[in-house]
Structure 1
Amino acid sequence: MIARRVVVHGQVQGVFFRASCRHAAQEAGVAGWVRNRPDGSVEALFEGPDDSVRRMVEWAHHGPPHAAVDRVDVSDDVPTGTAGFAITY
């Protein structure tokens, strides 16, 4: 199990990024959360098997169809054994 935190910059709010992220994470079997940040970016934590988390980090580089991702900051995080994937506020 690994965990990665991503901060996605660009036109990523108001384009169903969070809902699409939750759907993609659930399909990939990844736990964690996603939320909008006040600066217009979106932050997410992905936790799960290495390949699945890597797939979600890759997904974050393009997001849903109407997103325009400029940059993705990725950092390691500590897995906590969380279950499910939530949209947080």
Structure 2
Amino acid sequence: MTRKVKILVSGRVQGVYFRLFTQNKAKHFGIKGSAKNLQDGRVEIIAEADSMAIEKFIKWCHKGPITARVDHVEVTELEHDEALTSFEIK
């Protein structure tokens, strides 16, 4: 079953290549979506894939890359309205 989620990641996640690592990990798991910096210092990730891939990706988001420090991860389920075609950095 395909899931679509919004993931908000807090901590030292901007200026440390978090979005690039996120894009690489998303491609590894076959996830489509996007990652963008928010003005409040968090990174917002939209991710769409099968449920197992999403769970593995969320688990990775709790750790993040070695260059980052993840303090908090918030996951919100979204409506699966349109199929995404790639994973992009915004």
Flag whether TM exceeds 0.5 (same fold): yes
CA–CA separation in structure 1 for the residues paired with 2:27 and 2:79: 20
Could you tell me which amino acid in structure 1 is paired with residue 79 of structure 2? V
Describe how 1:8-87 pairs up with structure 2 within 5 A: 8-79=9-80, 80-87=82-89
SS at match of 1:61: helix
Cα deviation, residue 78, structure 1 = 1.5
1:59 Cα offset (Å): 1.0
In the comparison of the two structures, how many residue pairs are matched? Answer: 88
Runs of 4 or more above 6 Å deviation: none
Q: Percent identity?
A: 32
Aligned alpha-carbon RMSD (Å): 0.7
Residue 85 of structure 2: SS of its match in structure 1? Answer: coil
Query: Alpha-carbon deviation of 1:24?
Result: 0.3
Equivalent-residue separation in structure 2 for 1:78 and 1:33 (angstroms): 16
> Mind listing any 5+ residue stretches in structure 2 that lack a counterpart?
none
TM-score (norm 1): 0.95
TM-score, length of structure 2 as denominator length: 0.94
